[in-house]
Homo-oligomer: A and B are copies of this chain.
């Protein structure tokens, strides 16, 4: 897998070890869809490998972020989520406030306008975050309150 190579290269260049846990966690992470919180992901890992600890998952996700296999995203929930980064285009998020559905999007026009704005204020661009919150089609229809399915 290409992702494994990324991890191997990063490990080599930093003098890190490729432990079993790291390889397993990468394998599980690649299977995950969407944007998992650490705890959600830890539960997935634990089901397959009950011996892997929370801190290892925590530290490994940080490691993945460092080598750009993963990206931390923050939907304002008071906790971090992780999404795949390697091989994925830059994108922003559209989030349903009722059911938690997230849609990824990339709008070149918005991107361009953002660059322009940074330039206008003489800022050197580093990053940006755009999140649109709303109600998805489904949630608009059933007016009843449904809980966010995410943990």
Contacts and interface: CB of A to CB of B under 8 A. Distances in A.
Number of copies: 2
B132 A128 contact: yes
Interface residues of A, number: 32
A34 interface: no
Nearest to A110: B113
A107 B114 CA distance: 9
A133 B124 contact: no
Given A129-B76, A129-B131, A130-B128, A105 B123 contact: no
A63 interface: no
B94 A123 contact: yes
A133 B125 CA distance: 6
11 contacts: A94-B117, A96-B123, A97-B126, A103-B123, A107-B117, A109-B113, A117-B132, A124-B135, A125-B133, A126-B134, A128-B131
